[in-house]
Structure 1
C-alpha cells in the first residue's frame, strides 16, 4: 500500500436499506480516526454509493453518503458490508467499479454477505473464501468456482480478504492492520477498541459445545502459562498434564473451546511473539528463534516466511520504517 506521504483512501460501499450497521461501524472505528500515534498511517475515510444522499441502514437509521462509485478509482482499500441476497442484484456499474479497483491494485474486503458481491464480480473465482456460516451453502451453490470455507473467521488472499459475520469483521480488519502495519499497531488498536488483539483466521466462527466454566478457567490458566513459557518445548502432553487431562481429552476440549488445535494455537502465539520482538528489539534472529520456541533460526525463518509471506529480516525493516514514520508524524 501507499506510504505515509499521502492519506490512504478507504471507501466503504453501501446501498440504500442494505448498509450493515455493525460492519460499517467497525470500518469507521478502524479507519475513521487519526491513529497515527499508534503506528497507523493517515486515512481518508468515506462512504460510497451508486446514489449518494441519505440512505437507510439495515436497522433503519439514516446515514448521509457524499461520494459516488467514481471514488473507487482512487481508493487503496475498498470494503463492502452485508448485502441482501435475494431482492437486490449488484448493478453492472458497481461490479465494474470493483473489478477496476482490484485491477488497479486496491485491497478489497468483504464483510459477511458482502462476499456475494465480490463473487458476482468474479473476484473470488478459484479462491478459498468465507462468509457468515448461515449463508455459506448459498454462496457455494451460486458460485461453484469459489471454494467456500464456512468454519473460519476470515480468509486472506492477498488483495482480497473475506470475513465472516458480525464480530468477525473486527478480526478481519485487525488482521489487515497487523499484516500491513505490524503487531504493535494492531495490539494498540485492539486495546483502544477493548477487543482481543488477535484471533487467528482459522478459528471457528462459533463453538459447538462450550465446556463448563471451571474447565474454561483451568484451560485459561494453562494457556497463560504457555504464553509465558514459549521458549520451552511445549507439547500437547505437557499442556494436558498441566490441565490434569489425558492428551486426547485435552486436545478435544481445546478444539471445542478455541476452534483450533493446540499446535496451531502455539504456532500463532510464537509468531505473534516473534513479530513483537522483531518490531521492538534489536535481538538477532537466532535469539528470537530461541526466545519464542522455534529452536533454530532456520526453522524460524521457514515458518515465519511461510505464514507471513516475508522473511523476518524484511518484516523488521518494513515495520521499523513504519514506526520511524509514525514518530515523525507525532513530532510534526
Structure 2
C-alpha cells in the first residue's frame, strides 16, 4: 500500500496505533484507496462525528504540582482543532481510538454536563475552588456552536457565583461575554487565549481548525474591553518553527490589552511524538532534524520529560535563552502581572427542589 496523503484541514497526517493500550495498527482502507484514484490522488474529506457520552460525574480532580488548579471540566473528548502538538491526543487511546486522525474527527460530547455539575456543587461537603475549562480539550471547539455544553455549565456556575477559568484558542468564547463579564466584575472569571503564531500559513497546518491568529487576538481585545481578565498563552513554543515570534506575540498581546502572558516549550508525550515528526516530514522536512535536536536538548536527550516540575519548563541553554527572551519582552510591554486569584467566598450552592419553592 502507498503512504496516505495528508487530509485537507486536518492536523495529523496518519492514524497511528497505540501500542500502550493494544489498539491494533490501522492500515489504509481499500475504499479510501479507490477514492484517491477517483479524485486524482487526494483523499476524500474526513467527516467529523460526535458521539454522546453519558458520564456519571463531570468534575475531574488532580493533584499535579505543575498546574494552578485542582479540578477541571472537559465537556468534550477529542478536539476538532487538530493541533498537531496537543498533549491530550493520547487520551483517545483509552477508547481504543487513534491519537491521530481519530482524535480530531471522532469526538464525544457530554450533554448532561450541566446537570451533573449542579448535582456535584450541591453536595454538602463540596468546597469551592476555581474550576478550569480547556485543560485537556478546547471547550470552544467548533462543535460547541451546536452543543453549547460549555455555555450550559457556565450558566450553572454564574447562578451560584462559582469561580471559573477558561483556556481556549477559539474566538467563540466572546459569545459568552453576557455570562463572563458579570462574573469577572465579581472576581469570578478569567480567560487565557492561546496564540502560538502570527503566521496564518503556519497556523493552517499547526492548528488547522482553530480560529485564525488575528481572530484570537481580536477575542483578547473584546474580553479585555468587557472587563474580563485575559492572558495570552504562546504555548507551545516550537523551536525553529515559532520561537522567532516570541517578541512579536508579546507585543500583540499588549496591544490587545492582555494583562499577562505565559509560555511552555513544546512537549511531545507518548504518541504525540511520532505524529509531530510525521507533521514535520510533511510541512517542514528541511527543518525536522534541527527541530528534533533542540527538542532533545530541552528534555535531557529525550523527546519527552514526564516528570513533575521539569516537564513544563524544559532545561538547557535553549530553554534558558527562551525564558530570558520571554521575560525581557514581557517587561518591555508591561505584561508582568501574576495569575489572578479568583474569589471563592461568594459561592452559594445551587438551589434544590425545596429551595425553589420559597
TM over 0.5: no
Which structure is richer in relative contact order (CA contacts within 8 A, separation 6 or more)? 2
TM-score by length of 1: 0.32
